[in-house]
Structure 1
């Protein structure tokens, strides 16, 4: 079993939320490369969801092993959608949980049974959306994208069709201070 399959299978997708419910379908969407559908689930109206950092972790690991000509514009657009929701200048990790794995602690996961999901969403702070956890979805998503800059840069240098979209993505990952220096 390859490490991506192992990782995908060990994330409790059915207990993590997306913009449109539970993340149960995410492993299949990742496996079949349905990036547009994934983007709609992990970023919606400038909000990132419980599943977002985990989807990025898996996709970015996969991306690092692909040849530049195999990468699709839809995949780059997924990363751009996530980056567009992040205010880079506010990404101070002091407000995040200590490790990304903490986001899979029982206190953040939704119950196995989906029957009461509507009631859960009506809570003032639904489970997994407390301030620290919610900020962590943005913080770890940002860190994962930042760590992938060398991968994005290599793809951009080898795939001129994707170069404009990747350039846009790379600009989104810079703070105002970094942009001013250039």
Structure 2
């Protein structure tokens, strides 16, 4: 991974990403920053379950990844890292480790499927995926979005492959952390992430 991409993953803030203009499985990722905050707070299990479900349903569906996926992976990686550090003193952090590992596992499986197929080259930089030309309209219009989904090339090939490529770059950062986790989901995830 380039230094620039690593720096981006390590430093980007949720407010830097136009979530309301990138897609998930069923809609746009508008509420994702709120969900990341709930996960990161690690103090309300019910709220965490709801936020986790919303994110999981939005970033992976039947081995397909979406525009929001690689960006969501960055913030989920940070939550996972924190949960690993806090799990001995916080039961919610302990709950989150295998839950996030399982979600990352689905993403890793999707990545592995696409990596084994012929695909375009990724965009040169992580942040290229949020260039203006790839973003959806500033103001949400359900009808306009539906029409866009009906277009032949909803996502150009290099952008689409970048959803997988850059999600994998984040997953690779997880690998050293997974050695500390002793749950089955983390062990399975470690095996799924191919260098």
Structure 1 length normalisation: TM-score? 0.81
Distance (whole Å) between structure 2 residues aligned to residue 6 and residue 101 of structure 1: 9
Aligned residues: 165
| 2:36 match | 30
Hey, which of these two has a bigger chunk of helix by percent?
A: 2
- Contact preservation (8 Å) 1:36, 1:75: no
Distance (whole Å) between structure 2 residues aligned to residue 93 and residue 124 of structure 1: 17
For 1:86-97, what aligned pairs fall within 5 Å after superposition? 86-87=111-112, 90=115, 95-97=121-123
SS across alignment from 1:18 = coil
- Contact preservation (8 Å) 2:120, 2:158: no
Gaps in structure 2 of 5+ consecutive residues? 1-9, 40-50, 88-92
* Residue 44 (structure 2) pairs with residue 19 (structure 1): no
- Contact preservation (8 Å) 2:111, 2:168: yes
| 1:75 match | 100
Once the two structures are TM-superposed, the CA of residue 9 in structure 1 deviates from its matched residue by 1.0
| 1:46 match | 63
Distance (whole Å) between structure 1 residues aligned to residue 100 and residue 54 of structure 2: 10
Gaps in structure 1 of 5+ consecutive residues? 176-182
Once the two structures are TM-superposed, the CA of residue 114 in structure 1 deviates from its matched residue by 2.1
SS across alignment from 1:148 = helix
* Residue 178 (structure 2) pairs with residue 152 (structure 1): yes
- Contact preservation (8 Å) 2:77, 2:174: yes
